[in-house]
Every structure is written in structure tokens, then in C-alpha cells.
Structure 1
Amino acid sequence: MPPTARRRCTPPPWRRPRKSRACTAPASRPMNGSVEPSPVPMETTSLNGIASPASDTTALTNAASRTLDRDDFLLMLVTQLQNQDPLNPLQGHEFAAQLAQFSSVEQLTNINEAIKGSQEANNLLAQSINSGVAAGLIGKEIDALGNELGWIGEPVRLGFELPRAAASVEVQILDDTGKTVRTFDLGKEAGGLIDLTWDGTDGNGNVQPNGRYTFEVTAVDASGEAIGIDNTYTRGTVDRISFSSEGIRLWIDDLPVSMSSVLTVRNPS
């Protein structure tokens, strides 16, 4: 008896599956008859052959944005080898390139440490030299930039540099409140370095209390135009030195001055 032809049955339109609905393949059935569940899809990203969950992307980005040292780089390289995709392992030339990067990082780290050590050694050497120089200034007479004065009962010497000839020069001594306690009218001056001594008294001959004072210089030329003063300085004998976080200080007439402000050094006259 001939086989009966099978007729393909086409379902009516309302029974046909929609095109947008994905067909799910039947689960594979192993030989023991049990059904294995379909694997759950997991979104992954890869970096140089490393497969990792997408949630780790932020952590990798943050790690890459940090400044990496030698240990961090080596840890990342080992982690990369341990977690690389077995279907797309790291190639030999890629591994060699990363080893070269590691070598460069190590060399830069060593250079940086050597530079830091050299800088520290230079700083210590500079401090030692400055300390020796400062100690050698005790008993020397110096001119130090500034307009501060220290009055402790001994005549105070001060000076300034006049850039050109002046028709009138005036020097005012002021106390710590800004009040003028003494005025010197020097008249005409040819220019250059002008020295002056204050005996610690006011215009009436009254001795002023010990403390810190300042001085101001006013100069005009023959046409009445003001002349700018280049430098003002105080002169005295260094009686001690001190060390602080601000550096080395030389003391003259109970007034501290910095090493960088010293203009001249001479033996006391």
C-alpha cells in the first residue's frame, strides 16, 4: 500500500506567531534524559583579553585614572593573566609589550626615588652651608634691606640709596603706631648711598622707649618732582643667629633680618 502523502497545514493568520517574538530553542537533552537549563546571558566587556562583568568597568576606569606605581602595575598584569579569556588569550607580542611597559614604570620609579634622594641631600647640604655662613657673620657689621629699626638704647644706623641729585631730602622715624617721632631734614643731596644715625630721641630730645621703629624717605628734585628711593637698609653688628621654620635669622640691635636681605658684610669700624 503506497504511503499516504502528508499535507502541510498552514495555521490561520490569527494563530501565526508574530515576527517580533523571538523563538526559543528547545533545551538540549543529554543522554541521561535530564534537561540542562539554558545559560543565563551575561553582558561582558573585555580589556586586553580580560573578560569581566560590565559592572567592573567603573572600577577599572577608576584604577586606570590613578597614578600607578610599580606594585600596582605588576598586580594588574598578574590579574590580567589569571582572568584572560581562554578563547582569546593574550598573545606573545602583547605580553612582551606589557613587560616592556612594566620595565619602563620600574625605571621611572627608580629615577624618581633617586631624584628625591638627591634633592634631600642638596637641601641638607644647603642648610649646612647656610648655617656655617650665618655663624661666621656673628660679630660682623652688615647692611640689611628693609626700613625697620631696633632701638635698644644704642645709636641706630640706617641708610638709603638716592638714584639722582635731590633738592630736598627728608627722613621720618615712626613708632609702631605710625606716629612720627623724629624728622631729619637733610636738604640737598647729590645722590648715591646716604647714611644716617638716630640716637633714639624725638625732636625735643626725649628718649623714646625701646622697641621696633620704621623710617620713610621723601626726596624731590629742583622742579619739585618726587624721586623714588631705590633701597632702604639698616646697619648693625650681628650679635646672634636663630633657626626657625622661616629659615635663619641674623640679629642686629634686637632686630631679626633674613640671610637673603643682607647687602654688605664688613668688619666693625
Structure 2
Amino acid sequence: MKAMSNPSVRRICGLNLKVQDLTQAVMFYTHTLGLKVRGIFSNEAFLKWKTQGEDFLGLFKSQKLGWHHVELRFMAPDVQAALRDLQAKALIDQVRSVGSSEISATVLHRWLPSGVEIFTPLTKAVLIAEVADPNGRMLELVYLKEDYTALELPGLLAVEIESPNPSAVTAFYSQVGFEYTLEGLQAASRQKLLIRKGERLEWVRARLAMSSHIYARLTRASLSTAEGVSLSDPNGYELIILPEGGITS
């Protein structure tokens, strides 16, 4: 599979996970890992890796665990350019719902297949399109006018998932716009999406870069491996922690 020189996926902006106890999960990520509260609601919470950062971790209360959705950032000057990108990637017929802060629902309906749900975005975006991968994991494709590729530290370095059909899932994410590399699928930010063979669709492992003092504290209380500090959150999601000072963009 040929690698692209400039992946159209600019970055993995938001990792959103299902959790059984929202309060417990928020407590873990804020107290243990030092994330900042962006907003807490009755059944969901959003945390930022850094106070002035854009990237975030979303937590959604659910009895079932797993990936709730992942937000990917793209760049497009206008709605028509974003729709052309979806068309060129053969994703337009897979779109389940879409929204734009720039044009009306009436206009969007004219440009999309019948049956696509139109919603009003809560944030300003050229276009937001929701699609599912071959295993049913939801993606939110967010098109903005501004490019956004600098690696945010502290923050998310990589997400790893399992699939019974990793070749098909890898092909899908390459179609979405990740670059194929020997180390895994890669966004322009150099964040990675790793897909391994397995049956646990609810399983998620995240590789995170955290501040040096949090990393030092975790090394005293958790298992250190060749990859970094290894620990699990209250819902069993596996985390590999690295010091942000050792990461280069």
C-alpha cells in the first residue's frame, strides 16, 4: 500500500470512551493523570490534556465499554470542498449524519444522499460528518478552515484497537486519510492509529505523553516497561505513559 506524503487526516483531536462510572473515571483522569475539566454533564464529561489545549478526552456513561467515537480533524476552505473530499474518498454514501455552521440544513440536504441526518453543530466547523468503520466504531470527521497539525503535549500519541479483520479496517482508515507506515496508520500530526488482530472490539489502548512530574510519580506506583509506564483506568482501558520531555514532533 503506497504511503501519502501529506495525510489528509490532520490530527486525532478527540478520543471518546464509554465508561460505567462517570464520576470515578473523571476522578482517575484528573487526579491520577492531571487532565483539566472542560465540561461535566449528566452522562458525559470532557477533559483537556492541557489548560490552553484543543485536544480532549471524552467520557460517556454506558454499561457497555469501548470506543464511543473518535474526532478527526481535516482542512477544507468551504463546505463544497469538504464534500468533494468525502466524495473522492468514496465516503459520501457512508455518511450517517452531517452538520455545518456555515450553511443551512436545506442546502445540505440538496448535496447529500437521502436519509442522511442533518444536525446543528455545537462548535464552529465547515462540516462535520459521522461515519462508521467496518467494525461499527464511530468517527466524527471535522473539517476546519485552519490547519492544525502540531503535536500537542501533554497529549495523545497513539490509539490501538483490535479487529477480527484488521486488513479491511486498515484499508478503511487509509481511505479516510491516514498515512500507512510500517509503525501503523499516521496522521499529519504524527499521532498513530494501530490496528491488531483480535476479537475484543471494546478493547482500547492509548499511548499518552504526560508531564515529567506526573510521569515520575507514576513510575513509583505503576509497572514500568520498555514502552513506558503501563497502567489501566477504572474501566480496564490500557494506558502507556511516556514523559512529554522525551517526545519530539
User: TM-score normalised by the shorter chain: which range applies?
Assistant: under 0.3
- Structure ranking higher in strand proportion: 2
Normalised to the residue count of structure 1, the TM-score between the two structures is: 0.22
Structure with the bigger percentage of helix: 1
With the length of structure 2 as denominator, give the TM-score of the two structures. Answer: 0.23
